[in-house]
Amino acid sequence: MSNNLSLAITEFGAPEVLTPVNRPIPSPSEEQVLIQVKAAGVNPIDAKTRAGLGWAAEHNQDKLPWVPGYDVAGVVVANGTNESKFDVGDRVAGMVGFPTEGGGYSQYVVADAGLLSTVPPSVPMVDAAAVPLAGLTAWQALEHGKLVRDEKVLILAGAGGVGHLAVQLAVRLGAQVYATASENNHAFLRQLDATPIDYHQAHWATANGEFDLVIDLVGGDAAIDALASLKTGGRIVTVPTNTRDTITSAAAERGLKATGMLVDPNTWQTQRLLDMLDQGDLKIDIAAVYPLEQGAQAHKALETGHTRGKRVLEMPSG
């Protein structure tokens, strides 16, 4: 246990600024565990921060090199003196270092035990690493939207990392689920029991009648267009922070209820999502798995904006 290979942002910019660095293996404080990371989820916030945008970038601009990554799955290799939730050898996953610390793109990371959930034996580490941030965003967006059985919900970018999980959770709630996606992802959405909508078509927002709720995972013009699909008194939950104010004020002008949200770590919800994977009640679509050193390729793929499912980094062992 000598090396701790990490992928760091050395300066803000294009994906190529992600650089392999060797760092000391951290020691867990009293309430923490040391995790040998097996896989780390790649999320849009990672790419945004790497490009120098948003609050994580602002917070860390004088602390470069900085290691991104909030989603980890791995094995506990050491405990803090006060930590009794996990034993050495336990398989764990969680959203760590959020929102400003990061650190997930590493072979070893320390995390508060209270932020971690148990990975069931049947769930591969790659799948477990893909769940926390995207799964919690999907769950909490539906909570903010107060979605109930038989309501009609439209999920923008329904085939993406957060979207395909939100679709499945909304279906489980008994809602009528519609989702925007490009045509090559329509069959995938039908498999998840959603009705696909091609956002390239004219009048896509109003072609399927009126919705009770829109879950906006895109922001910008697409979200503004989607406001036209809401019934009187309808609700929109908007996730992208950079266009939140524009969308909430546009919604208010139309007499609609708009909520911006930032995901919160929630161990109970993460555990439920992992257990649902274990029981076959939730599917996670893994678009691609990259070795840690190829993190730049994962960021490039993510930034095309047409990713289906999730992208994950796999750590070298040892």
**230-245 pLDDT tens trace:** 999 999 999 998 899 9
Q: In this predicted structure, what is the pLDDT of residue 3?
A: 86
Q: What is the DSSP letter of 23?
A: -
Q: Which residue's structure tokens are 């990392």? A: 161
Tally of CB atoms within 10 A around 22: 10
Task: Give the whole-number percent of the chain exceeding pLDDT 70.
Answer: 99
Per-residue pLDDT of 102-131, as tens digits, reads 999 999 999 999 999 999 999 999 999 999
Nearest alpha-carbon partner for 36 in 118, 93, 114? 93
Rounded average pLDDT over 202-224: 95
Task: Give the whole-number percent of the chain exceeding pLDDT 90.
Answer: 95
Phi (first) and psi of residue 11, to 5 degrees: -155, 160
Nearest alpha-carbon partner for 126 in 20, 15, 37, 4? 37
Q: Assess whether pLDDT exceeds 90 at residue 300.
A: yes
Q: How many CA atoms lie within 13 A of 250 on its CB side?
A: 20
Nearest alpha-carbon partner for 285 in 163, 142, 154, 156? 163
pLDDT tier at 318 (50, 70, 90 boundaries)?
A: low
Q: In this predicted structure, what is the pLDDT of residue 2?
A: 63
Per-residue pLDDT of 28-71, as tens digits, reads 999 999 999 999 999 999 999 999 999 899 999 999 999 999 99
Question: What gap in Å lies between CA 190 and CA 273, rounded to an integer?
Answer: 21
C-alpha torsion sign, points 132, 135, 141, 145 = negative
pLDDT tier at 22 (50, 70, 90 boundaries)?
A: very high
Please spell the DSSP secondary structure of 30-81, one letter per residue: TTEEEEEEEEEEE-HHHHHHHTT-SHHHHHHTTS-SB----EEEEEEEEE-T
Mean pLDDT of the chain: 96
Q: In this predicted structure, what is the pLDDT of residue 304?
A: 87
Please report, as a single letter, which amino acid is at residue 187.
A
Report the range of poorest mean pLDDT among 12-16, 149-153, 166-170, 306-310.
306-310
Nearest alpha-carbon partner for 214 in 253, 240, 177? 177
Question: What gap in Å lies between CA 264 and CA 138, rounded to an integer?
Answer: 11
Q: Cβ neighbours of residue 18 under 8 Å, at least 6 residues apart?
A: 7, 8, 9, 50, 105, 295, 296, 299
Tokens of 247: 């969308």
Q: In this predicted structure, what is the pLDDT of residue 6?
A: 98
